[in-house]
Structure 1
Amino acid sequence: MRIPKINIPKKYLKIGAWVLGVFFIVCIALGAVAYSKREALLKKMVAKAISKADKDYGLAVKIGSAGFTGLSTVKMTAISVVPKDRDTLSNISELSVGVKLWPLIFGNVKLGELKINDGFVNVVLKDTITNIDFILKRKKKDSTATKSKVNLADIASNILNEVLYKIPDDMDIKNMVFKLNDNDTAKLSFATVASIDGGDLKSTINVNNGESIWHFDGEVDPGSKELSVMAYADGKKLELPYLNNKLHAKLSFDTLQTELKNAKYSGDDYKISGSWSVKNMLINQPRIAGNDIIIQSAKLDADVLVGPNYIALDSSSTAYLKNASIHPYIKYTLGKNKIYELKLNAEEQDAQSIFQAFPQGLFESLDGLKVQGKIKYNLNFYLDTAIPDSVKFSSTLTPVDFKILQWGKTNLQKINSPFVYTPYEYGKPMRDITIGPSNPNFTPLSSISKNFINAVLTAEDPSFFTHNGFVEESIRKSIAVNFKEKKFKRGGSTISMQLVKNVYLSRQKTLARKAEEILIVWLIEHNHLVSKQRMLEVYFNIMELGQNIYGIGEASRYYFGKQPADLTIGDGLFLASIVPKPKASMYKFMADGGLKPYMFNYFRFMGNIMARRGLTPSDTSGYGFYNVRLREGLRRYLAPDTAVIDTNAFDDDEDGMGNAPVEMQDKNKNLFDRIFGGGKKDTATRINVKPTDTVKSKKQLRQERREQRRKESELKNGL
């Protein structure tokens, strides 16, 4: 294509030349004037800044001298910053700052040069005050100002630009010390030497006078929004004991690397692309695991999207653990109603690579497990806080030609044969119980009354024989209930999960144990390692059904003096009612051995469900409620009928996710008792017996309770 020739008259060319010439002459003249006045302008600006710091933040700022050493470089000496009535925050012998002129013309302050010699920044914590309190001060808002809608994308762009613009093209920091004094009980110091030369960053930090030497090396190009920095320590892991003590945890790693690849607008969203990786990271925190967890190699290639009202980790991101990978999608939407979204997608990949990718120490019972085949995983979670009952949850781990070749530390089929079970109370082992024919209390499934089996399955896990270890609908409802209550009130454990938790795992209540529990349940159920009948048989023989009462054999004899095969529908419903809170079982009885009236609604509700399912005949009289009688030998240990018992004291916190709050008086925390139980919430944390007869003192009542427990214990030991 031929571009047509444009003819411009000479007079217009002359006019243009004259305009440009005049413009340059004016700029030179203004520049000359500004250059000649720049020292005076600098002093004026310094004085204004010092005055503003004192007025707005209560900072006493002193500068020994300030002047230009180049066209746009300012050098200051003897700088000190002291907050009012606080310890000195900073003192710097020499500071040189240079800015770039071209960005400055457009109102952007971009550092071109930074030099610091001999200085310190000292943060002091004393009780509830610090010498950086002024940072938290805010100016009084103008009441006449109108609120404008916040755009998170613009905020993210502005913040990132501000940070990058403050990274100089050339930097030389010598003998700069950053200190922290925490109430004189812990002190930290970071003696820093750092430089940036042609984009190459090199920094050495001496921690606590030789305790450790840290290095931060990399390349920075803030103008292109690119940087890559690696952190490591000389001859040891990079860790900070002070921070570990504050977090009651231990955290260290060999190397940590972060990379910013790009940041720009993509439509209305601000997209930040980067990566973070770590080598041999060690974590030890009691709520995560009771031992050291080592992540040998982990990396996240991330695309972070910041929209007008949301922040998201885009599904194009990939997380790596050794040779295993997964695509996460996380989104948090602000507004009238907050919305949480989480999706995980692990494409079909080698199963052994996935098991080997698990951090060391995370799943101890599976260490050494060898498998073949492939697996893939998908999770979908969506919660709109305005309508929590509509929460979406699905989780699918799909095996492809999957097979177990070798057990790890634990044989997952061990319960197919007789074994020894050790129950724990408050972290301490109680006694060894043989789950097999050599134990006279062991009861085969065929010798257990259907009344008991059906009652427990109806209350605890109605779909036990049809599910594969998990019930997504139950988990979904638990999420909704717990969110609405703002506390962990309802769990979603199946009988399979309860069995695995008690038989295969330690009693440590940690997130790692919960994750291990889920994985073992999947391995057992999807590979049919243990039959459903055997799982149920073992569960009925190890379940806690009272204070130091384990298994249906012990329980049926203890409460009713019966064999498990002879339990009535009423006996079965009672025993099912105490499963969530077995230590409170004796407080469901009146002094004559009958059940307390509030239990009637539970019996009728549960019985009706069982009748509709064909598990028991309809009974308008209460499904055996009036026929349940505590064994006569135990009745003398019952509390008086006038006593009101706070059974909250018997919570066992079985799920290990924090105390499970119970909002009921002498009732269980399952669905049916929450519906029909009465009574006002009692926030006491101890057993609180309040007699209607006020003649007895509190001390006498405590003595009576201790004596009652002593006699009950003697009776059990005798049995």
Structure 2
Amino acid sequence: MQLPKIKIPKKYLKIGAWIFGVILIICMALGAVAYSKREALLKKMVAKAIAKADKDYGLDVKIGSAGFTGLSTVKMTAISVVPKDRDTLSNIGELSVGVKLFPLLFGNVKLSEVKLNDGYVSIVLKDSTTNIDFILKRKKKDSTENKGKANLPEIANNILNQVLYKIPDDMDVKNMVFKFNDHDTAKLSFATTATIDGGDLKSTINVNNGESTWHIDGLVKPGRKKLSFSAYADGKKLELPYLNQKLHAKLSFDTLQTELKDAGYSGDDYKISGSWSVKNMLINQARIASNDIIIQSAKLDADVLVGPNFIALDSTSTAYLKDAEIHPYVKYTLGKNKIYELKLNAEEQDAQAVLNAFPQGLFESLEGLKVQGKVKYNLNFYLDTKIPDSVRFSSTLTPVDFKIIQWGKTNLQKINSPFVYTPYEYGKPMRDITIGPSNPNFTPLSSISKNFINAVLTAEDPSFFTHNGFVEESIRKSIAVNFKEKKFKRGGSTISMQLVKNVYLSRQKTLARKAEEILIVWLIEHNHLVSKQRMLEVYFNIMELGQNIYGIGEASRYYFGKQPADLTIGDGLFLASIVPKPKASMYKFMADGSLKPYMFNYFRFMGNIMARRGLTPGDTSGYGFYNVRLREGLRQYLAPDTAVVDTTAFDEEDEGMPPVIMQDKNKNLFDRIFGGGSKKDTGNRQAIKPGDTAKTKKQLRQERREQRRREKELENPQ
């Protein structure tokens, strides 16, 4: 189809040409006037900016000279920024900034050129103040002025655009030093030289006056919303000394790469796509693991969504560890009720590839383990902070033709035969205990009273014979309780988990050890490496039931002078009651060897549960409470009936993290994540708090000495 020709009379063409010419002349005239007045306008704008910085932020800004060196390039010298009553924030010898003219017509300031010579930016943390407090104060003021509902996608778009607009097409930075001083206990300095030429970024960073040399190279295309960077160091790993100095942690890697692939609106949401990858990353921190953990290769292809009231890592994202991959979904919903969501989905993949993908040093006891078959994994977690009791949690690792073909460092079937168990107290080995017939205190499961077995199972793990090592409902309730209490108060460990923790793993309380515990439990339970009966038998023979008392054989003779087969329902309930805090066991007795009255409610509560389940006959008198009697030889060591005991002083929850020695009193990142500061060794805690607060210091010292003497006698009973 041929379009018809449109004929425009010459008269109208001439009129149009005259109008365009007049507009062009006017623009040129205005431009000439603006050009002639630009120095005066610049001085006025500089003065206005300095006044605004002083009024709004309390900043004393000084500029030695400012003037144009080109059509749109401003050169300034001797620039200093000093917050009120704080250390100098910045001092720059010479700075030239060029802007793009066309975006200015639409109110956008985009940099075309930046040149900087001889300057520094210094952030100082001192006491409870910093020299960047003015930023936080301004943000607080802005938040009170803008009480309307925030549009998160628009905010994300504006922030990203502002960052990209400030990246120039060409840059030349020489001798720019970034300093950080944290209470004079940890210092960092980065002397930087960097250039951008046609989008190619090259930089060299001198860390702490020659301690190491870093390089950050890449490609920047801010107009297309595409950025890519690669960081590495000369002749060594790239690491931050600050982490070791301040947090007693080590973090290093060979190379780190990050990329912004795209950003823009996706419906009502704002979507940012990018990737992050690292090679040979080393992590060492006492709360995470006692040894170096090395992640040889990791990558995350991420799609981040910013919605009207949420921020999410979308399920289209993929995380790679070597040849294994998993799809994460993380969502944080803001508002009156904060909501946390986490989903992990690993599709069916080679089991050995998954095992090989675990970071080196994470699972020491499983090093060298060979498996065949496939596995898949799903996790679902949802917590509405307003109704924590409704928390949802499920975790499923599904084997497909899975089989262990070679043991690693540890034979997970070792407990099927006699073995030597070494219990630890406060990180120190106590004594070797043979779990087998050669030990006179070893008691086969068939020789243990059902009263004791049923009492412990009811109290510790009612579904032991039916679960596969984990009870999701117990874990779910623990999450709810711990969230409401804002601390770790309740655990979700099964007997299987307690057994693995004590027999196969070190006594170090770290996140890595907890993760290893979970994996070993899964391997044992799903592959039926150890029968439930043998697991229970071993557990009953290694469990701590008092000060240096291990196993039911030692405990039944120690407390009651009985064989394990002869324990009554009352004896069983008492022993079950001390499992969570075995070192407090002696303080449950009166001076005559009978139980203290406060224990009656426990007996009635647990006894009623057992009766409903058909594990014991109903007993309105308290399920043997009044028949429990400590053997006469131990009664001389009992504390007075009037003594007030803090039973929390005897045992820490196992899941608690070890203390980290700090160089100052400020809380660090790990304290904020895991809660609290460093804890004292529980071995130095006082077991008894005298009820009479009016006692003299001398009397208190004498009581403590007497208590220590009793404890030593209890450790070595006659």
TM-score (norm 2): 0.93
Q: Which residue of 2 aligns with 1:580?
A: 580
Change (3 A) 1:198 1:625: same
Q: Distance in 2 between matches of 1:185 and 1:287?
A: 21
Change (3 A) 1:452 1:39: same
Secondary structure of the residue that 1:441 maps to in structure 2? coil
Asked if structure 2 preserves the Cα contact closer than 8 Å seen for 1:381 and 1:392, the reply is: yes
Q: Which residue of 2 aligns with 1:601?
A: 601
Amino acid in structure 1 at the alignment position of 2:510: T
Q: Distance in 1 between matches of 2:240 and 2:145?
A: 45
Amino acid in structure 2 at the alignment position of 1:67: G
Q: Which residue of 2 aligns with 1:707?
A: 706
Deviations 1:238-270 (A, max 9, x none): 012123322220000000000000000001100
Q: Distance in 1 between matches of 2:128 and 2:384?
A: 37
Amino acid in structure 2 at the alignment position of 1:689: K
Asked if structure 2 preserves the Cα contact closer than 8 Å seen for 1:648 and 1:685, the reply is: no
Change (3 A) 1:97 1:606: same
Asked if structure 2 preserves the Cα contact closer than 8 Å seen for 1:488 and 1:658, the reply is: no
Amino acid in structure 1 at the alignment position of 2:390: S
Q: Distance in 1 between matches of 2:291 and 2:653?
A: 21
Amino acid in structure 2 at the alignment position of 1:326: I
> Is the counterpart of residue 222 in structure 1 residue 222 in structure 2?
yes
Asked if structure 2 preserves the Cα contact closer than 8 Å seen for 1:488 and 1:657, the reply is: no
Structure 1 residues without counterparts, runs of 5 or longer: 660-683
Q: Distance in 2 between matches of 1:590 and 1:78?
A: 81
Asked if structure 1 preserves the Cα contact closer than 8 Å seen for 2:189 and 2:207, the reply is: yes
Change (3 A) 1:553 1:698: farther
Q: Distance in 1 between matches of 2:115 and 2:20?
A: 38
Q: Which residue of 1 aligns with 2:662?
A: none
- How far the C-alpha of 1:199 sits from its partner, in A, is 0.6
Q: Distance in 1 between matches of 2:451 and 2:470?
A: 24
Deviations 1:345-370 (A, max 9, x none): 00100000111111010000001111
Q: Which residue of 2 aligns with 1:162?
A: 162
Q: Number of residue pairs matched?
A: 694
Amino acid in structure 1 at the alignment position of 2:456: V
Secondary structure of the residue that 2:404 maps to in structure 1? strand
Secondary structure of the residue that 2:565 maps to in structure 1? helix
Change (3 A) 1:574 1:270: same
Q: Which residue of 1 aligns with 2:323?
A: 323
Deviations 1:293-339 (A, max 9, x none): 00000000000000011000000000000000000000000011111
Q: Distance in 2 between matches of 1:471 and 1:642?
A: 40
> Is the counterpart of residue 451 in structure 1 residue 451 in structure 2?
yes
Q: Distance in 2 between matches of 1:649 and 1:624?
A: 28
Asked if structure 2 preserves the Cα contact closer than 8 Å seen for 1:648 and 1:686, the reply is: no
- How far the C-alpha of 1:237 sits from its partner, in A, is 0.4
Q: Report 1:280-359 matches (<5 A).
A: 280-359=280-359
> Is the counterpart of residue 620 in structure 1 residue 630 in structure 2?
no
Deviations 1:166-197 (A, max 9, x none): 00000011122223344555443322111000
Asked if structure 2 preserves the Cα contact closer than 8 Å seen for 1:201 and 1:218, the reply is: yes
Of 612-621 and 163-172, deviating more is: 612-621
- How far the C-alpha of 1:120 sits from its partner, in A, is 2.2
Asked if structure 1 preserves the Cα contact closer than 8 Å seen for 2:547 and 2:715, the reply is: no
Amino acid in structure 2 at the alignment position of 1:359: P
Change (3 A) 1:58 1:387: closer
Q: Distance in 1 between matches of 2:640 and 2:7?
A: 113
Change (3 A) 1:632 1:11: farther
- How far the C-alpha of 1:428 sits from its partner, in A, is 0.8
Asked if structure 1 preserves the Cα contact closer than 8 Å seen for 2:153 and 2:306, the reply is: yes
Deviations 1:636-685 (A, max 9, x none): 211222222121111232223589xxxxxxxxxxxxxxxxxxxxxxxx97
Amino acid in structure 2 at the alignment position of 1:577: S
Q: Report 1:179-578 matches (<5 A).
A: 179-578=179-578
Change (3 A) 1:55 1:471: same
Q: Distance in 1 between matches of 2:694 and 2:161?
A: 75
Q: Distance in 2 between matches of 1:107 and 1:182?
A: 39
Structure 2 residues without counterparts, runs of 5 or longer: 660-683
- How far the C-alpha of 1:143 sits from its partner, in A, is 11
Q: Distance in 2 between matches of 1:381 and 1:42?
A: 57
Secondary structure of the residue that 1:91 maps to in structure 2? strand
Of 23-32 and 334-343, deviating more is: 23-32
TM-score (norm 1): 0.93
Of 377-386 and 63-72, deviating more is: 63-72
- How far the C-alpha of 1:40 sits from its partner, in A, is 0.8
Amino acid in structure 1 at the alignment position of 2:394: S
Asked if structure 2 preserves the Cα contact closer than 8 Å seen for 1:213 and 1:234, the reply is: yes
Deviations 1:501-525 (A, max 9, x none): 0000000000000000000000000
Secondary structure of the residue that 1:549 maps to in structure 2? coil
- How far the C-alpha of 1:141 sits from its partner, in A, is 4.6
Deviations 1:15-45 (A, max 9, x none): 5444433333322222121111111101111
Q: Distance in 1 between matches of 2:143 and 2:441?
A: 76
Identity across the alignment (%): 87
Amino acid in structure 2 at the alignment position of 1:501: K
Q: Distance in 2 between matches of 1:52 and 1:709?
A: 68
Q: Distance in 1 between matches of 2:58 and 2:52?
A: 9
- How far the C-alpha of 1:56 sits from its partner, in A, is 3.1
Q: Distance in 2 between matches of 1:550 and 1:95?
A: 73
CA RMSD of aligned residues (A): 2.2
- How far the C-alpha of 1:50 sits from its partner, in A, is 2.0
- How far the C-alpha of 1:599 sits from its partner, in A, is 1.1
Amino acid in structure 2 at the alignment position of 1:229: F
Q: Distance in 1 between matches of 2:694 and 2:124?
A: 58
Change (3 A) 1:619 1:11: farther
Q: Distance in 1 between matches of 2:470 and 2:517?
A: 11
Q: Distance in 1 between matches of 2:146 and 2:229?
A: 42
Of 132-141 and 29-38, deviating more is: 132-141
Asked if structure 2 preserves the Cα contact closer than 8 Å seen for 1:303 and 1:314, the reply is: yes
Secondary structure of the residue that 1:462 maps to in structure 2? coil
Asked if structure 1 preserves the Cα contact closer than 8 Å seen for 2:643 and 2:691, the reply is: yes
Of 339-348 and 21-30, deviating more is: 21-30
Q: Which residue of 1 aligns with 2:630?
A: 630
Q: Which has the higher contact order (CA 8 A, sep 6+)?
A: 2
